[in-house]
Chains A and B, each alone.
Chain A
Amino acid sequence: MIEALFFYVFSAVLIASALMVITARNPVHAVLFLIMAFFNAAALFVMLGAEFIAMILVIVYVGAVAVLFLFVVMMLDINFAALRVGMKKHLPVGLFVGAALFAELIWLYLSWQGSAGAAERVTMPTPDAAYITNTHALGHVLYTNYVYLFQISGLILLVAMIGAITLTLRDRAGVRRQKISEQVSRKPKDVLKIEKIATGAGVS
C-alpha cells in the first residue's frame, strides 16, 4: 500500500518533470526539471533494489551531466524565443507519433510473458539482499565477468574527454605564460650586479 503510494508519487513527478523539460520556455528551468526527473528516477531505482545505480545516477547524472548542461545554458547567450518558432506547427504530427509509439510500447509491455525456461537461463543471478549489498554484488560481477566492457567504457570516457578538450581549447594571443626552462636556466650573472656603495651615500 505504502509502496504503491511511493511508486505513484515518484512516477507522477518523474513524468511531469519530463514533460516540463520539453516544454519549458526558460532553458534553466528545463535543466532544473531534468535534474528533478533524474532524482525521481533514482528513487524508482531504490524501490527496485538497485541502490548503487540510483546513487550513481545522482552523482554522475545530476552532479556532472546536468551541471554541465547548466554551465552551457548559462554561458551561451541564447535567444530561446526565436528557437520556439514553429513549435505549434509540429505539434499534431509529434502528438500522433508519440501516441502511436506509446500505444505500441504499452501493448508490448502489458502482454510480455517470460519464457518457460527463463529462470535457469539467468546469466548473473542476483544474490539475496540480506547477505550481500547491491554494490557488493555488482562489484563481484563487474570486475571479473565484465572486465573488458568496464575497460572499454573507461576508454570511451577518455576519448570523450580528449574530444571535448580538442573541440573547445583555443590559443589566445597575448596570454602570458611561464617558461619554466627559461626560469631554471637563468644565471645570476645575467640578472644580478653587485655594486659597492660608500656608507651613507644612496643609490642613484
Chain B
Amino acid sequence: MELMHIGMQHFLVVSAALFTLGVFGIFLNRRNVIIILMSVELMLLSIQVNLVTFSAHLHDLTGQVFSMFVLTVAAAEAAIGLAILVAFFRNKGSIAVEDISSLKG
C-alpha cells in the first residue's frame, strides 16, 4: 500500500478504524447510553465512508444512494433512541441502564 498515492485502500483503512472505534466505545461505555448512541453513529458513519469509497472507485452511483438511506435510518434511530432515553430519564432520574430490572422475576 503506497503512502503518497491515495487509493481505495486508504479510505477503507479509515473506515475500518472508525468502525473499530465505535465497537470499542460500546465496550468501554456500557453504562452510558448517550455514548453508546454516539458510538452507533460512528459505526454508521464508517459504513457510509466504505460505501462512498466503493462507489467512487467502481464508478457506480449505487453506493452513494445507499449511503443516503443509511443516513436517513441513522437520523431516525438517533431520534427514537434519544426519545426513549428522555422518557426513561423522566421516570428513573438517571441513565444507568443497569437499573432497568423491574420486570425481572
Top 7 closest pairs, chain A to chain B, by CB: A22-B25, A94-B27, A160-B76, A105-B16, A109-B12, A164-B83, A124-B61
Within 8 A of A (CB), among B64-79: 64-65, 67-69, 71-79
Q: Contact between B61 and A4 (Cβ–Cβ < 8 Å)? A: no
- Chain A positions 75 through 88: 1 when the CB is less than 8 Å from some CB of chain B, otherwise 0: 11011101111110
CA–CA, A31 to B35, complex, Å? 9
Which residues from A are CB-within-8-Å of B84?
167
The number of chain B residues with a CB under 8 A from chain A is 72
Of B13, B62, B69, the contact of A153 (CB 8 Å cutoff): B69
Known interface pairs A22-B39, A56-B68; A69-B34 also in contact (CB < 8 Å):
yes
Of B48, B55, B62, B76, the contact of A41 (CB 8 Å cutoff): B48
Interface of B, secondary structure class, is helix
Q: Interface on A for B, CB 8 Å cutoff?
A: 1, 3-4, 7, 11, 14-15, 18-19, 21-23, 27, 30-31, 34, 37-38, 41, 44-45, 47-50, 52-53, 56-57, 60-61, 64-65, 68-69, 72-73, 75-76, 78-80, 82-87, 90-91, 93-95, 97-98, 101-102, 105-106, 109-110, 112, 114, 118, 122-126, 134, 137-138, 141-142, 146, 149, 153, 156-157, 159-161, 163-164, 167-168
